[in-house]
Amino acid sequence: MSRREEFFAPTANATPHPRVLSRKKGELMTTIDLLTSTEVTIAPVPQSFLDRVRSEGIDDLGQPVKRLVAAGGEPCRDVLRRAGRGEELILASFTPFSKPGPYKEYGPVFVLAHAGGEPVRRDALPPAGSPTDYLREQFVIRAYSAEEEIIDAVMVSAPALEETVDRFFQSAGTAFLHVRFPTYGCFAMRIDRAHCVA
Give the side-chain half-sphere CA count within 13 A for 78. Answer: 23
Q: How many domains does the chain have?
A: 1
Which residues span the domain enclosing 121?
3-196
The pLDDT tens digits along the chain (198 residues) read 433 334 334 334 333 333 444 443 333 333 333 444 568 999 999 999 999 999 999 999 999 999 999 999 999 999 999 999 999 999 999 999 999 999 999 999 999 999 988 999 999 999 899 999 999 999 999 999 999 999 999 999 999 999 999 999 999 999 999 999 988 889 999 999 986 544
**pLDDT reported for residue 196:** 59
Q: What is the pLDDT of residue 38?
A: 62
CA distances from 124 to 31, 98, 127, 144 (A): 12, 24, 9, 20
Integer Cα distance of 108 and 5 in angstroms: 22
Alpha-carbon gap, residue 104 to 67, rounded angstroms: 25
Q: CB–CB of 188/180 below 8 Å?
A: yes
Question: Is the CB of residue 191 less than 8 Å from the CB of residue 177?
Answer: yes
